[in-house]
């Protein structure tokens, strides 16, 4: 199968999976649904086909546009009010990710870069693209973030119920 036809098939499968993910109404349903659909399709075809690198550039630009378009000037006022909690939270999460990635690396489970991107908080799509562009392992980073998103979705109702009783 030539690259163009394979790309069209992956895009179609991804759109169907993304649509199903949205219909199920899970957070990040479009990205999770499309990702799982393409993975299942690749497994079904026993395919090792990967997107050519210049497609990665297009995807990165689209994600940049999406993030940039989400910006509103009112966010600066909100950020100004929450600057200390935002900085403390960010530093603690990044430090925790570094410590965990160091432990994983010392145990021989993965390289530091992949471990750091896998354990870092943030948008799954951006970190997966970053892993690919830095030559770290995007598949492992995807596994970490996919599991984390599903875990948070499943545990959030229980945790929120518990913390609402505390406050």
- Cβ contact 48:34 at 8 Å: no
Q: For residue range 111-121, what is the model confidence (pLDDT) as tens digits?
A: 999 999 999 88
Q: For residue range 29-82, what is the model confidence (pLDDT) as tens digits?
A: 888 888 889 989 989 988 877 777 777 788 778 878 988 898 888 888 888 889
> How far apart (Å, rounded) are the C-alpha atoms in residues 119 and 148?
9
| Three-class SS state of 166 | helix
Q: What is the pTM of this model?
A: 0.64
Return the pLDDT at 156. 83
Q: How many residues does the chain have?
A: 167
Higher per-residue pLDDT: 112 or 165 = 112
Return the pLDDT at 1. 61
High-pLDDT (> 70) share of the chain, %: 98
Among 1-10, 31-40, 82-91, 139-148, which is the least confidently predicted range? Answer: 1-10
- Cβ contact 128:146 at 8 Å: no
Return the pLDDT at 142. 87
Half-sphere exposure of 110 (CA within 13 A, CB side): 20
The angle at the Cα of 161, spanning 160 to 165, to the nearest 5 degrees, equals 110
């Amino acid at each position: 199968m030539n690259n163009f036809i394979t790309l069209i098939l992956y895009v179609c499968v991804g759109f169907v999976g993304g649509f199903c993910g949205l219909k199920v109404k899970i957070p990040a349903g479009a990205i999770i649904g499309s990702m799982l659909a393409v993975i299942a399709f690749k497994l079904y075809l026993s395919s090792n086909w990967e997107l050519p690198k210049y497609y990665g550039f297009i995807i990165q630009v689209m994600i940049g546009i999406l993030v940039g378009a989400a910006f509103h000037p009112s966010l600066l006022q909100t950020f100004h009010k929450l600057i200390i909690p935002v900085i403390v939270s960010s530093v603690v999460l990044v430090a925790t990710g570094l410590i965990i990635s160091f432990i994983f690396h010392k145990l021989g489970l993965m390289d530091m870069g992949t471990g750091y991107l896998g354990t870092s908080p943030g948008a799954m799509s951006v970190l997966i693209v970053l892993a690919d562009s830095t030559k770290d392992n995007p598949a492992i980073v995807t596994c970490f973030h996919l599991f984390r998103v599903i875990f948070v979705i499943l545990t959030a109702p229980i945790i929120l119920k518990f913390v609402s009783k505390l406050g």
